[in-house]
Structure 1
């Protein structure tokens, strides 16, 4: 049997260390599927039910491993479906390679069936984007695509016409010049040096040593630098604020952290940003500048791996281009250690009160079930090395505030894109990458419904992922955003009957439990975590529980009140929930 060009593609992926490809077959990639079949001992193909899920899985795989994630889709609609998950990778800066099919070269440009020029469609999402027109281009283009994804922390795309896929490996019908590299050469990616310039570190240390009220803001670029972050915080006596993508940088019970920032953050973090005189940003390009110090009120030092992003958000006194871990290691010896810091103690006291407020909302006696309580049960029963994936919506608020980072726990969600439906595909990919760890998808009913067929994928691949559905039968985040704008809710609550997703889980051969009472939450979650296979717990939570910001502004409160006056149809239930929340906080 003749060796085909698609085999060269798969072999080169394997040489780069790729062990998994997520995708959905179609007649536009039959040649590539044959290449995968012939090399199934080296690269496994994970069949999914929707291409969007395949792209999310590749993104989740890359986030959890640091290695390139790979997804595969057929020509036309298949490639189009990948886009949402690929933009998630682009905006959160993770390396992903998308491989798509294309019509035969002889019919391109004729309006052939499913002829979509995916290289043009992907022009915005992909850092490297190439239509393969000659078998001799492989494996050189694979090397360039993967190196580009690693170097630029983003998406690369290769699209292969059908005739190229099945052509004889190395064939060159037009007798072109020699290919760019010898096929037998091993693939190599040389990571850029992460060490900062000494003069930049000294400059940063000078600014930080003169700070009276410093703070750190850490993001996903510092996930591998926990010990260094804590050491710098100790030396400076500085509180540590975490972006949502950087939630796992330091444990949530650390005496140095004030938790998250932004709408899903904590009140102490927001107050801290109004109080500091120096901010050290590490591994983050936090986009929501309204939550950062106003220009001129604090000096800013930024440790950023990408030179194009250093100083891009706020006026930055000292931009330092470096790897977070290497930069902090170089900084530490230059810092003057402080003792008895009143600034840090002030925010430690504020965090004691904040944690008490959050504990009060985790009340098991509330009816309907408080979403904070449901999340707290998952937090209490999950393993210390559990991985939690989360969809976008109100659930992100509950996870940000009630999923505790301890031990080797991790936390992932669609950060900058803030897409719905990513939670379940992320979990499947991460379970593939870490088969011995507990992986939990915490999702809303809206997001789960979008790609719920992937629970069947979990069952078919025998992946023991656990799914907890925060079911408020609505698009909860949009509901509250409409109210903050001063609008009565519209188009955000699903009609009855409410779906029972546990029945779907059981029909797939997994564990499924429907929970409507607080007293049953812990039992159902424990059974799901103990189940040897995929499991789902569908929890009916209070649909009128507001995901309130850590600190409510006057304008937000004014608009919220205006929405009530305009005829908010559920204002009695919402007012009752808000009143109960306030009483419970006061009671503690």
Structure 2
């Protein structure tokens, strides 16, 4: 049997260590699917229900493993569906290869059915982006696509016309000779470990040693540098503030951290940013400038392996273009240390904040408080559990009530902040780590978008646990409308409310519906103990506000104006806000 282009592609992927592809077949990639079939003993094709989920799974796989994520879709609409998940990968700097189909070369440009020029469509999302036109191209361009994705931590895209897919790999209609060497061993592709320059380190140490009120802001780029971040924080006497994607960098119960920053962050973190005189940024280009110190009012040291990100948010006095771990290791011996008073102040502030958050996890509240649901998950989950999350109010509850300790991890769509990746992420991560507990904490809105993929988990015997925070609304959008000064509009679903537990049971998995606070703990405990996929659908208080860590005057003003202009559900909302404040005062 002659080797076709589809098979050559798959062999090349295998040579690069790829063992899993997430996708949905179609007639636009039948030749590629034949390649996967011929080598199904070495590469696993995970069949999904929606291509968007395939891209999210590839992204989640890359996030959790640090390896290349691969997704595949047919031509036209199938490939278009990949885009949301691929932008998630691009904006969060994850290596993903997208493989798509294209109409045969003889009909391109003739307005053929589903003719979408994907190389043009993907030109913004993909760093390496090519339509294959010659079988001889395959070995070299697959290598280049993968190298670009891994080295640049981004998306690559290859699209194959159907006639090229089934052409024999030796065919060369243009009589050109392309390179065909197997991929060389390139250990530098396992995330570049860039060493810092000595002059850069000395300049940074000089700035940090002069600080009276130093603070540290860490992002996901410092994930592998936990020990070094903590050591530098203790040496400087600096509180560690975390971005949301960087939540797992430092354990939440560690005394050096004040938690997250931003709308989903903590009051101590926000106040530390306002008061500090020097800021060390490590592995982050935190985009929300209003939560950062005023430009020019503080000294800034920034460590990032991507030099193009240094100075993107704030003027930087001492840049260090280096891997976070290497940069902090080089910096630590040069630090003289501070008096620790600034850190001591925010340790006390953080103790008060933690007490306030614990007070909101009140089992007696009816309707069920979403903080309580997340608190139960946090208490019962394993110390090495992986939590995935969607965008929305659930991100607030996860950020504040999911405690990073031990080997726990936390993933969500960072910069794209898209809805619906929580479930696909969990499937990919459970596939990558079959021995770990993987929990998807998702909203009813995000789950409904890609809920068919729960059946994918069942069919592949992936024991994911899903907890649906069901407020029968697009909760974050609701509160954004109010904060902007508008009465809520078109964000709550009409009756009947969804019961996603029936879908779980219909799939042959564990499913439980919870509407009373007293049933939350037992249902989640049973789901976590269940040997296969499990889902708990919890009806939570739809009027629970995801309040900012620190309320600003303009936010309070708009909130009040919206109520005065006829905010629906005002009494239920005010009742919830007052009850939350009473619980905090009791803590």
- Both structures adopt the same fold (TM-score exceeding 0.5): yes
- Paired position in structure 1 for 2:180: 182
Within 5 Å, give how 1:246-325 maps onto structure 2: 246-325=246-325
What is the correspondence of 1:50-129 to structure 2 with a 5 Å cutoff? 50-129=50-129
Q: Secondary structure at the match of 1:483?
A: helix
What is the CA–CA distance in structure 1 between the aligned matches of 2:171 and 2:530, rounded to whole Å? 52
Whole-angstrom distance in 1 between the partners of 2:11 and 2:185: 11
- Other-structure match for 2:413: 414
SS of residue in 2 equivalent to 1:573? helix
2: distance between equivalents of 1:562 and 1:185?
62
Q: TM-score, normalised by structure 2?
A: 0.99
C-alpha distance in 2 between matches for 1:393 and 1:117? 33
Q: How much has 1:184 moved relative to structure 2?
A: 4.1
- Equivalent pairs, count: 585
TM-score calculated relative to the size of structure 1: 0.99
1:535 maps to 534
Q: Counterpart of 1:365?
A: 364
Quick one: structure 1 residues 282 and 295, their matched pair in 2 at CA, closer, same or farther if it must change by over 3 Å?
Answer: same
Cα deviation digits, residues 211-255 of structure 1 (max 9, x gap): 010011000000000001001011101100000000000100100
Cα deviation code 1:531-554 (max 9, x no counterpart): 111100000000000000000001
Shift of 1:3: 1.2
Relative to structure 1, the CA distance from residue 211 to residue 185 in structure 2 (aligned partners, 3 Å threshold; closer, same or farther) is closer
Tell me the equivalent position of 2:564.
565
State how far apart, in whole Å, the 2-side matches of 1:224 and 1:329 are. Answer: 12
Aligned match of 2:575: 576
Q: Deviations over 1:357-402 (max 9, x none)?
A: 0010000000000000000000000000000000000000000000
- The structural deviation recorded for 1:189 is 6.0
Deviation at 1:337, TM superposition (A): 2.9
Question: Is 1:396 aligned to residue 398 of structure 2?
Answer: no
Corresponding residue number in structure 2 for 1:476: 475
Moved more, 242-251 or 181-190: 181-190
CA RMSD of aligned residues (A): 0.9
Give the Å deviation of 1:193: 4.7
For residues 496 and 149 of structure 1, what CA distance do their matches in structure 2 show? Answer: 45
- 1:287 CA drift (Å): 0.3
Q: CA shift at 1:315, angstroms? A: 1.0
Shift of residue 571, structure 1, vs aligned partner: 0.2
Q: Secondary structure at the match of 1:79?
A: helix
Contact 2:15 2:182 in 1 (8 A): no
Match of 1:465 in 2: 464
Structure 1 runs (4+) deviating above 2 angstroms are 181-193
Deviation for aligned residue 1:187: 5.6
* Cα distance, 1:338 vs structure 2: 3.8
Give, in angstroms, the shift of residue 310 of structure 1.
0.9
Distance 2:185 2:513 in 1: 50
Check conservation: 1:240, 1:256, Cα contact below 8 A.
yes
> Residue in 1 aligned with 2:430?
431
Tell me how far apart the structure 2 counterparts of residues 13 and 42 of structure 1 sit (CA, whole Å).
10
Structure 2 gaps, min length 5: none
Residue number in structure 2 paired with 1:546: 545
Which residue of structure 1 aligns with residue 208 of structure 2? 208
Task: Provide the rounded CA distance (Å) in 1 between the counterparts of 2:180 and 2:489.
Answer: 61
Compared CA separation, residues 185 and 89, structure 1 to 2 (3 A): closer
- Which residue of structure 2 lines up, in the alignment, with residue 525 of structure 1? 524
